[in-house]
Structure 1
């Protein structure tokens, strides 16, 4: 019989490739296991055993036990859900049987149009894969419905059960397994299984990079270098202290606005999210609009900064920057932007300055910033006493929270996009991750000092003290956000999974000055880094600030494209005075080193 040499025919893998791969697997696997066991032994000898809270650091057992108890207290409702599930399942069987006989049938259940997992045509065209897909979707709906139907759960337990049920359901998707993913089966047939061998090598590489813990590669890191092809807007570091470097950017216009612009990015991540590439750099664009831009580039802290607190970040961040900007430009008054945690710091600083009658910051812009943490979204799942104690125990031993742990938490909020899609691409399809600037930045994680992070999680996320007048004391001053009277621009994003826009909107009811609230499409990052030239993502505007976010949106007007020009019109109208362009080093501060500086280049694994 002639051998089928069509592209879809299965071929045996190259024996030499198999031999090399398995030898490599054996050598690397043995080394990974030995290193992992040694660390576990060292951890146990240092008092870091697995007993106590460490056996259930997420405190899931209690939440799911309570859910089970509640469900069993109403067995009729549970039975009704089970009957509905089996009826749907039998209908699916019947529809599949009709399809296999060549008859047309409708879907019993359909995936969300936004769900990218089932984009391959085989999930619709092939009866078997269509059955697998719909069977999974029915099971997922049943699990989530059953978890949600438990009556009497307290809000925190219900939120935790819902979140981790979805994590469980997402993990069991048939797309995540080689034998039930048509794209993987097709690739395996085409390559003779070499995709799986390559995937195994990729898996070992990620285990080695994580020193025994899996750190999934999201991007080809070799394609990017900070300061060379990313974060390349020209400028200079003109000031630095132990927590931050202050970068001043070179002007690109002959005249600039008299008021300099200070940007306070979050120190959970690095500042160059606002300076990825020239085409999507907010910093470069702001310079082109005539702003003298300064940015705080935060240090990537190690154990030596374990005792740095939120007050230190205020003193050595915005306060130090204000003094440095005056020396560099001769200007006392500035406009300020705070992004996420940087915005929370800006709000705290403004309240501190209001109490001290310090008016140097003349306008404040907040990007995706929460100051009222009552409804903090799914991050609240990770904020309970048991988890905070376990986290503090871990941080106190080494002085900081490891950047990869923070990144892992954020990735869980979008597990299908930021975890499972890479499992399929890297390990099952055996492909290299794509060179995507946004994902490179996302993987360039930063650490958090133990004292500061504990304060942030407890006083803000857990206790929501920042909005309580006088509850938070920084540098001997009791803060009251209601005393913030300056013009304020609040930018939120509609699909934000980190700072839900309904929560960020609450600030409009706190600050005392004139407020402009703008809502951008997309999420926490893409909705902010959205240049006008891209033509992507609309935004909503309104001149009113009603008591609720829902009322605001009902009265808002949707406009096409980026919100950046709206912000520039707003901030430049506050003071249109212009002066000759300022170049780093022309003032009283000498240039220390070229932008983006050395602090931003320190990686969490260094």
Structure 2
């Protein structure tokens, strides 16, 4: 008899299974440990992968070490800059002025104050500009360095130099110094108060405050309408007509899920939605859910099906229209393009036209944001989202701020912390503070399949098990690019003409990613270029197009409306009935913070 209290030796297969299970759990524990560690590191690096940055740097540094000719050239440039600088200082001392060694870039607004023309501040400025020029030469043109690595090293060098610019310090900035003397240092006291207030919000992870005068549903997003459909991911808003007759085919607007929809419905004076309804259009708008942890597994397929596809189905039920004109903004335009390509592939002809606002189909030239999109960075961001199940807007903000560090980081340091001045709130700033999140799967999939692998432009993006390509899109397209866009550079948006099979009209407007789109009639200092991308069946390159098309004063919205009306089939009709109202616009999803 065997004493049941004694351990029984397992069979050999049991040992094997036990060992395999042990090693599996050990492997999972190791992976979880790595993920948790990198997630912790990401909080200190604003989501940028240190490993990726080091790989870029090592490529440049090792090739620089093997380039004695380049080193000699940089040494000669340093001596030349020093001679020019000392000669400039001598001229200033002798003549109370001299011919500057270097001029700031046309877009660099840091040295606009008249004080930079006087000693000693002009000496600080020239020293900085000459140093900046030297580092630009040092980080470019090194033989053997990968082009992508060169761009990253050059970008990081600029960020480090910008941090040390004389504009960032009280004693070397004439404007700040003058105010300090005038106020007896009160500006520095106020600035310290502002800094403490901002630090407290960061440490307590508080949401940015939205000024009282800018409230959603009260002063923002006030165009009358009803939420007529809701699913797990969207609310669909139908706006009330403002004209006796409307165009026969409605408009569906697909905003980016990375931001709240009401950038296109700010106030009554600059609302694109109100402008369209006043022009006799029936307008529908998607309002995206602000995801929580339980939404982590929502991916690109979910956003396409529950977003534009579900909205199209509901619009047809409500209006009875056979065709719909779709408008996509930023990533909403990319999602709309994918949906349009799949519809064209499958013989679904419900789209009459597409308007793409600062949107991209090809991500090979998607600006400086792509400098950091590689396998190391994407996996690092995935680890960053591991705990929460989503990427928070504050985590995304770091990368976007770096793209415009002079305007979004150092200008803020100068005005809010050294000058002690908080900016006067405006509607677009209030909208910018009303942030959104992105679910884990969606963020990972769009970074990998669009930014990293560029699957859609390459015809490899899979929808329902089969690839889709922009070439399938044959509907007329009105594409908009903005001159100073750091998120979707206009030349990248311009590629729509080369990728799709339909006729493309391109508008290039002044302004950035948001301000260039929100360009209502009557907005001062607005201009745009407008023309076809193909001339005599010949694709016109971007620079050639910009040189050949004369700028027009005013808003591109008016030209767009004329184009939209030209795409309509049939005569104006009585406004369609409103769908079954679930609640008043702006709805409930937009209120989520």
SS state at 2:215 partner: coil
Runs of 5+ consecutive residues of structure 1 not aligned to the other structure: 1-43
What is residue 529 of structure 2 aligned with on the other side?
540
- 1:209 matched to 2:201: yes
- 1:413-467 deviation line (CA, Å, top 9, x unaligned): 1110111111111111111222122222223221111101111000111101112
Answer whether contact 2:241 2:277 (CA < 8 A) is retained: yes
Deviates more, 1:568-577 or 1:539-548: 539-548
Separation in 1, partners of 2:544, 2:171:
49
Greater displacement, 201-210 / 541-550? 541-550
Pick one of 72, 84, 87 that aligns with 2:65: 72
- Residue deviations 1:251-271, cap 9 Å, x none? 111111111100001111111
Q: TM-score, normalized by length of structure 2?
A: 0.88
Partner residue, 2:100 = 107
1:468-487 matches, within 5 Å, as 468-469=458-459, 471-487=460-476
Counterpart position of 1:181: 173
Counting only pairs closer than 5 Å after superposition, residues 518-537 of structure 1 correspond to structure 2 as 518-537=507-526
Matched with 1:429 is 419
Q: Could you say which residue in structure 2 is the equivalent of 1:559? A: 552
Q: Which runs of 5+ in 2 are unaligned?
A: 1-31
1:94 corresponds in structure 2 to 87
Residues 493-550 of structure 1 show CA distances to partners (whole Å, capped at 9, x for unaligned) of: 2222111222222221222222222222222222211112114332222234243323
8 A Cα contact 1:261 1:334, kept in partner: yes
1:132 to partner: Cα distance: 0.6
1:48 alignment partner in structure 2:
36
Deviation at 1:179, TM superposition (A): 2.2
Query: SS in structure 2 opposite 1:246?
Result: strand
Which of 557, 574, 584 is matched with 1:580 structurally? 574
With over 3 angstroms needed to count, the CA separation of the structure-2 counterparts of 1:468 and 1:220, relative to structure 1, is closer
2-structure distance, mates of 1:46, 1:245: 38
**3-state secondary structure, aligned to 1:49:** helix
Correspondence for 1:18: none
Deviations 1:541-580 (A, max 9, x none): 2234243323333433322221111111111112252111
* Deviation (angstroms), 1:336: 0.5
Segments of 4+ moved more than 4 angstroms: 44-47, 50-56, 212-215
Give runs of aligned pairs for residues 131-530 of structure 1, distance below 5 A.
131-211=123-203, 221-469=211-459, 471-530=460-519
TM-score by length of 1: 0.86
Instruction: Kindly state the Cα deviation for residue 212 of structure 1 after the two structures are TM-superposed.
Output: 6.2
CA spacing shift, 1:63–1:567, aligned 2, 3 Å:
same
What secondary structure, in the 3-state scheme, does the structure 2 residue paired with 1:221 have?
Answer: coil
Distance 2:444 2:39 in 1: 22
Partners of 2:173 and 2:268 lie apart in 1 by 39
RMSD, matched Cα? 2.3
| Paired residue secondary structure (2:253) | strand
How many angstroms does 1:139 deviate by?
0.8
Q: Is the 8 A contact 1:89 1:135 kept in 2?
A: no
Q: Which residue of 2 aligns with 1:595?
A: 585
In 1, Cα distance between equivalents of 2:107 and 2:506: 28
Secondary structure, aligned partner of 2:236: strand
CA shift for structure 1 position 477: 4.1
SS in 1 for 2:238: strand
Partners in 2 of 1:536 and 1:231 — Cα distance? 25
Equivalent residues of 1:220, 1:432 under 8 A apart: no
Structure 1 pair 455–274 and aligned structure 2 pair: CA distance change class (3 A)? same
Post-superposition Cα deviations, 1:188-225, rounded to whole Å, max 9, x if no partner, equal 2223322222212211211121126899x7x9734421
Q: Distance in 2 between matches of 1:214 and 1:93?
A: 50
Q: Name the CA shift for 1:214/1:295 in 2 (closer, same or farther; >3 Å).
A: closer
The whole-number CA distance in structure 1 between the counterparts of 2:55 and 2:128 is 27
Q: Secondary structure at 2:63's aligned position in 1?
A: helix
Mapped contact 1:314–1:349 kept (Cα < 8 A): yes
How far apart are 1:52 and its partner, in Å? Answer: 10
2:457 alignment partner, SS class: coil
CA distance in 1, matches of 2:352, 2:512: 28
8 A contact 1:220–1:433 mirrored in 2:
no
Measured in 1, the distance between the counterparts of 2:40 and 2:395 equals 20
Contact preservation (8 Å) 1:207, 1:214: no
CA distance in structure 2 between the aligned counterparts of 1:294 and 1:266, rounded to whole angstroms:
15
Structure 1 77/47 Cα, relative in aligned 2: closer, same or farther at 3 Å? closer
Greater CA deviation, 75-84 or 105-114? 75-84
Q: Does the 8 A contact of 2:39 with 2:384 survive in 1? A: no
Distance 2:482 2:136 in 1: 27
**Aligned equivalents of 2:97, 2:458: Cα separation in 1:** 62
The 3 A distance-change label for structure 1 pair 103 and 551 is closer
Aligned to 2:110: 117
Query: What is the deviation of 1:86?
Result: 3.2
**CA contact under 8 A between 2:210 and 2:433: conserved in structure 1?**
no
Maintained 8 Å contact 1:233/1:278: yes
